[in-house]
Structure 1
Amino acid sequence: MAEPSLDGSLVHHAVARHARDTPDGIALVHRNTRIDYATLQAAADRYAAELAEHGVGPGRIVPLLLPRSPRLVAVQLAVMWLGAAYTSLDGRWPAPRLHEILDMLGDPPVVVADGPVPLDRPSAVWTPSADLHQAAGEGTRPAPVPHPSPADPAAVIFTSGTTGRPKGVVLPHRAVTRIFRDGGPIGFGRGNVMPQAAPPWWDMYAYELFGQLMTGGTSVLTDGDYLMPQTLRRLIAEQGATTLRLTTTLFHLFVDEDPDCFAGLRQVYAGGERMSPAHASAFLTRHPGITLVNGYGPAESCMHATSRLVRPEDCDRPDGIPLGHPVPHTEVIVLDPHGRPCPPGETGEIHLAGEGLALGYLGEPERTARAFVHAEPAGTPVRAYRTGDFGYLDEAGTLHFRGRTDRQFKIRGHRVEAAEIEAAAASVAGVRSAAAVPLRGPDGTVTGIALFYTRADDGADHAAGALAEDDDVLRVHEHLAAVLPEYLVPTVTCALEDLPLTPNGKLDRAELERTALRRRRRRPARRPARTAPARPMERSDS
């Protein structure tokens, strides 16, 4: 299906160029299987022909309920070859969540899954051959070859939403390819090997996977939901891993629990939360020969929007480690409350512009219009995304972080909307009001979520006095664990007689955070141990 002229601004074309130029190069490694570029492309061609027979074509969105595997990669490429976009989902998510997302997709032409989908859906279900070598050897049947543009959708990423329902972030091809079109950042391309551990429903999955495939490198697909230090050691020793990307929380965890597990790497990327100077300093002292990069960017400006090669002197800065300079084809604009560009050193709201921007939110034009605005940094209007982050640019054009403008927060690299958790809690019979706040560690990193609620006056006898510290009398936690992805399930769930208020009558969230630290208790039954952070649905922010 590859064409004579392959446009590097399209994800599948960028990968196909390496299948044409270096067909024997290793594209994927999974367990004991090594897949070269020629085999990956041939399998994608075969899958594309079969998907076309199911009605997949330009403008369609195809939900994929497949585990991480070479087959998943080939199917994603096949979907893009047909001019459609993929959205990867997890069959382990609660059924109401899957129902909600599939409803947002409308009537997809087909659902790609390993077997029957346990949902009442009219769409056909297609199960692709699990053996890529077999699929590649079967040859292709004629299939249409659309010509999508770099502005056409490639993927839809579902993130946490303020209305209590997920948001579908529609990412065009150019958003994924922009960082890598000119050869890519350090650690990508031929001769580089990178673990692929980010969940398929997160934008950083494309960074780890397609970033290497579009530049001729090798992606090692990991098993399980998390990358742990012992797995990293094995990948370095057995597969020659050179490049690693972790959420900042995992980076901190690795530095704390096994600081030597990085030995053998050439570069480490971290992002998703504010990097701890103490952890960065410890890493640089232990591994002076490994490049450490701090990355920043929400899903709405796909993957990293800025990056910073961390230096020892950054760890001593009073305002923290910088977020860095824009990645290729990306612009950072800091605006004051009146929409005017802030001079160097002045704090304002961070806006992002350029080719990395999402097309908007699936089926939500009003929300899209609120989030994606027009700015005029140099007198010429540009489309920009309002990140909700405060920051400033210094004289050298380096971006520095100063905090959030709203109630969103990050946990393990994923953006959380407290309102979504509160909406789910409010649906429980007997709950009068609910408030979710972050649990923060000593360095300010969000390590969990606390949910407090009050009960409706249902005639219960409260004469016994204050509720117990761990009293979840309405079993709200059990309900949340059944309807929310694990990373949204609170660590602390507790009923209060009243929610605290500030002197002006507003909810005192700062007091709730202090209460949460005092009442931290058992972990949710569905949540893994500390060394295995909870499985995310997707990455809201990278």
Structure 2
Amino acid sequence: MAHVPHPSSVSGAVRPVPEASVVHMILRHARTRPEATAVRSTTASLSYGQLWRRALVIAAALEEAGVGAGDRVALVAARTPDTVAGALAVMALGGAYVPIDPEHPGERTAAVLAGAAPKALLHAGPWAGGGASAGPPSLPYVDMAALPDARVPDRADALPGPEDIAYVVFTSGSTGTPKGVRVPHASLANYVSWCGELVGTAGTGSPLFGSLGFDLAMTSLWVPLAQGRTVVTVAGLWDQGTLFGERERKYTFVKMTPSHARFFDVLAEPPRYDRVTGLLMFGGEGLDPALIASLGDRVEGVRLVNHYGPTETTIGSCAFSFDRGTVPSTPTVPIGRPAWNTRAYVVDDALRPVPPGSPGELVIAGRAVAAGYLGPRPSGERFIDEADLGGRAGRAYRTGDVVELRPDGTLLHLGRQDDQLKVNGHRIELGELRHHVLSVPGVADAAFDIVRGPVDTLELFVRPRAQGGGTGDLAGEVRTALASVLPSALVPEEVHTVPEIVVNANGKCDVAATRLRVA
């Protein structure tokens, strides 16, 4: 029987991806253009030849520590050339790297290590974040900075296959424990190939300034390297000279969250994007057309891309290209069409198609979809079979995002179905946040809100167990407790104690009314 197209679905282009992994792509550049610069920081750089040789040295050290194909390796992911070589080494071994932001608190790091169960921890030089106590005492620590430059056997004949896992990124979990998302090489290779065509071949590469503990920054890491261009590591948002200083040749693209753009926009000298990059990519949050308008002529002639995708759909699974003169008159900029070899369905709660133009849940299927979670329930509640949607058998992921399919075949993001929040591109589920807040002695209930501004922040309202005094500095205690387990971007800037959390007629928390109860 011929397949009947889903009435509210859209498909990306069907394209072959001949190379099985990013490792194959980087090795090709190392062989054909060994002197080209792969990674550059303010203090060091690695050519493609040097990057590959350094990865071989690190891979040999990992093997000596007992790491083999299929194993996971925790990688302390500072934005340095060594980190890039380390990630490449783990993948070249057939293992999966697990990035750990060195600025995350020790408890968060310990939770990730417990969930990942790595065979080794890879770092460069002294590491204070979590220390040796973060992992099991028997966990081998491999210091890349201490490894000599030596000749070791090449691994070109034993590179990873398409279904081997490339990396595991831990996202927010509704149970209070972060969830590890397993991404196979075929999905990553498909992503960088699609995104590489999306951004084009002009320019020198991309600046890397986001946290490598989340997958938002992986676009700025693996896409330029897959293209044979240069990754420029940036110490942080304060390093405006490296990020937006005058350049002989423009970047191929710069990727940021809308919150980053709002932050940069209020600097004494807002960046002239038209002078530093040919393309500006937004991701991690909904994109407001008003933000584009606020950038004015600083994006004149710059191609703009709205990039969408949960971690479970390999960094990004949809994109919408436009420019300053073609900003749509929609509530948010559309998220566009799916990536190569990827399909998007808009469905109701029973997975039935909704009519085009009507709101429904977005389900992503095809090559973009990750292999599932670590642990005893790899499919969780959101990974399903595409056959359940009337399509072919294969992995699909229920995003929990509400979208509609527009007449031009693009998708418009309308909001969330559940309690998940995005703050400065970092994802957190209210279930996890509530778990941590309610674990603080003296807290009876909690409510949350996002305060939009140059940098988005979380605002937290807590109802004490003790009424009429005696709570002490409960707000301070809550902030301290959250700072010990959450990335700094997810720790509420403001914590207020209130006598009650107001519930509206629909049985949902009324944050606006609750705010009025703040003393």
TM range (shorter): 0.7 to 0.9
Residue 118 (str. 1) matches residue 132 (str. 2)? yes
Residue 247 (str. 1) matches residue 249 (str. 2)? no
3-state secondary structure, aligned to 1:214: helix
C-alpha distance in 2 between matches for 1:492 and 1:285? 35
Check 1:91–1:474 CA distance in 2 against 1; reply closer, same or farther (3 A cut): closer
What is the aligned partner in structure 2 of residue 499 from structure 1? 501
Q: Is the 8 A contact 1:419 1:436 kept in 2?
A: no
Find 2:144's aligned residue among 119, 128, 134: 128
What is the aligned partner in structure 1 of residue 173 from structure 2? 161
Deviation at 1:94, TM superposition (A): 2.1
Report the more deviating stretch, 208-217 or 30-39.
30-39
Query: CA deviation digits over 1:36-72, x for unaligned, max 9?
Result: 1111111111111111111111111100125221111
Query: CA deviation digits over 1:361-409, x for unaligned, max 9?
Result: 111416x241111244554344211111100112321010111101111
3-state secondary structure, aligned to 1:263: helix
Q: What value does the CA root-mean-square deviation take over the aligned residues?
A: 2.8
C-alpha distance in 2 between matches for 1:473 and 1:204? 31
What is the aligned partner in structure 2 of residue 71 from structure 1? 82
The residue correspondences of 1:270-289 to structure 2 (distance < 5 A) are 270-283=282-295, 285-289=297-301
Find 1:202's aligned residue among 214, 222, 245: 214
C-alpha distance in 1 between matches for 2:212 and 2:393? 35
Residue 43 (str. 1) matches residue 54 (str. 2)? yes
Deviation at 1:161, TM superposition (A): 1.3
C-alpha distance in 2 between matches for 1:392 and 1:183? 23
Deviation at 1:85, TM superposition (A): 0.3
Residue 392 (str. 1) matches residue 394 (str. 2)? no
Find 2:37's aligned residue among 14, 21, 26: 26
Deviation at 1:182, TM superposition (A): 6.1
What is the aligned partner in structure 2 of residue 450 from structure 1? 459
C-alpha distance in 1 between matches for 2:336 and 2:506? 39
Check 1:209–1:69 CA distance in 2 against 1; reply closer, same or farther (3 A cut): same
Deviation at 1:194, TM superposition (A): 1.0
Query: CA deviation digits over 1:314-372, x for unaligned, max 9?
Result: 54514331111112222211112221222321210011112121111111416x24111
Check 1:15–1:229 CA distance in 2 against 1; reply closer, same or farther (3 A cut): same
Residue 12 (str. 1) matches residue 16 (str. 2)? no
What is the aligned partner in structure 2 of residue 540 from structure 1? none
What is the aligned partner in structure 2 of residue 358 from structure 1? 370
Check 1:312–1:181 CA distance in 2 against 1; reply closer, same or farther (3 A cut): closer
Check 1:143–1:241 CA distance in 2 against 1; reply closer, same or farther (3 A cut): closer
3-state secondary structure, aligned to 1:20: helix
3-state secondary structure, aligned to 1:403: strand
Report the more deviating stretch, 344-353 or 255-264.
255-264
3-state secondary structure, aligned to 1:180: helix
Q: Is the 8 A contact 1:58 1:146 kept in 2?
A: no
What is the aligned partner in structure 1 of residue 10 from structure 2? none
Check 1:462–1:280 CA distance in 2 against 1; reply closer, same or farther (3 A cut): same
Query: CA deviation digits over 1:451-505, x for unaligned, max 9?
Result: 2222224xx6549xxx99xx74672222222232212211221221121122365
Deviation at 1:177, TM superposition (A): 1.5
Residue identity matched to 2:336: G
C-alpha distance in 2 between matches for 1:233 and 1:142? 38
C-alpha distance in 1 between matches for 2:178 and 2:68? 25
What is the aligned partner in structure 2 of residue 529 from structure 1? none
- Taking only the aligned residue pairs, the percentage that are identical comes to 32
3-state secondary structure, aligned to 2:144: coil
The residue correspondences of 1:136-151 to structure 2 (distance < 5 A) are 138-141=150-153, 146-151=158-163
What is the aligned partner in structure 1 of residue 489 from structure 2? 487
Deviation at 1:175, TM superposition (A): 2.0
3-state secondary structure, aligned to 2:381: helix
**How many residues of Structure 1 are paired with residues of Structure 2 in the alignment?**
494
Check 1:446–1:507 CA distance in 2 against 1; reply closer, same or farther (3 A cut): farther
Find 1:330's aligned residue among 342, 367, 371: 342
C-alpha distance in 2 between matches for 1:181 and 1:231? 27
What is the aligned partner in structure 2 of residue 82 from structure 1? 93
Find 1:438's aligned residue among 447, 450, 459: 450
Gaps of at least 5 residues in structure 1 are 1-5, 520-542
Query: CA deviation digits over 1:71-95, x for unaligned, max 9?
Result: 1111111111111000111333222
What is the aligned partner in structure 2 of residue 52 from structure 1? 63
Gaps of at least 5 residues in structure 2 are 1-16
Query: CA deviation digits over 1:417-448, x for unaligned, max 9?
Result: 1222221111111222223332345xxx9822
Residue identity matched to 1:351: V
Residue identity matched to 2:144: P
Check 1:286–1:248 CA distance in 2 against 1; reply closer, same or farther (3 A cut): same
Query: CA deviation digits over 1:131-160, x for unaligned, max 9?
Result: 8xx62xx21157796443212111111111
Deviation at 1:237, TM superposition (A): 2.3
Check 1:233–1:91 CA distance in 2 against 1; reply closer, same or farther (3 A cut): closer
Find 1:92's aligned residue among 92, 103, 110: 103
Report the more deviating stretch, 172-181 or 67-76.
172-181
